[in-house]
Amino acid sequence: MKVRFSASAASWDEWTPALCAALPEMSLEQDGPPEIFDAIIYAPGGDISDFTPYRNVRLVQSLWAGVERIVTNGTLTQPLARMVDPGLTQGMSEYCTGWAMRAHLGMDHYAQDGIWRNGQTPPLAQERQVAVLGMGELGRAAAHMLAGLGFPVTGVSASGGAVPGVEVRPIDQLDQVLGRAQILICLLPDTPRTRNLLDAHRLALLPQGAWIINPGRGTLIEDHVLLHALDQGRPAHAVLDVFRSEPLPPEHAFWHHPAVTVTPHIAAATRPATAAPVVAENLRRALAGLPLLHLVDRTRGY
């Protein structure tokens, strides 16, 4: 099996040992005649922009969970699979849960300034409403982890399809969900339907004191709209891990706003040790003509 690796030079050094260990029968190459390759392993930063010459490729396997940078490429007619990595899923769930607990317990109230603030007892988890926008692999995992701690969790998805242990509402009921979401976790993909979905009207629906945690996509809320909403107190705080421009410029207002916490796109990394076996399984399936895992629906964009 000949596989073309199209990602950054740093990714080659990071991924090659794990990929070759997971799939020893593979010949992994950074270059070569397009017609010799059976599959492509892809990440933004790679050197392929025109997939047309790769006529024998049976699978383009993304190393990223998000595929918005490739799914609109008109030359890509080969099957495209997104990354579903158990390590990434676990990392995202831990990130969402950690920041949700910080919001829930009011950890930022206890400044180390000598003032005894023992009148700020937080409610119990079962009294704090959590909403998760996006019920894909990551959203379901985060919702289950939070529900396991006792939070009443409502998920919102395009279909409203059932998720065991979690109440799920369709996207046309988003406004009702926002009206009671004291902690709002955003894990939607970047598609034309989700861009700027949380506009000024919807942000104003949030309860007083609500927090937004967005490790999904920076295009969900326009920057100036969120900043204005924060100035109005709804939401009370925003934890942001994703941005329209990355790295976030030092002069950006998010860095300096007292109601914003910036994290540098670290909520969920794809880890070669846990992801390489997923890639290997899909490549074997592609070569054997078996059903592929985690195929991207081009009409939905994810």
Give the residue numbers marked as catalytic. Answer: 217, 265
Residues 6+ apart with CB under 8 A from 286: 38, 39, 58, 59, 79, 292
Q: What are the C-alpha distances in Å from 200 to residues 56, 78, 224, 278?
A: 48, 40, 10, 40
> Do 295 and 60 contact (CB within 8 A), yes or no?
no
Cα–Cα distance measured from residue 202 to residue 206, given in angstroms and rounded to the nearest whole number: 7
Phi, psi torsion values for 86, nearest 5 degrees: -60, -30
Select from 91, 59, 76 the least CA-distant residue to 279. 59
Q: Are 204 and 228 in contact (CB under 8 A)?
A: no
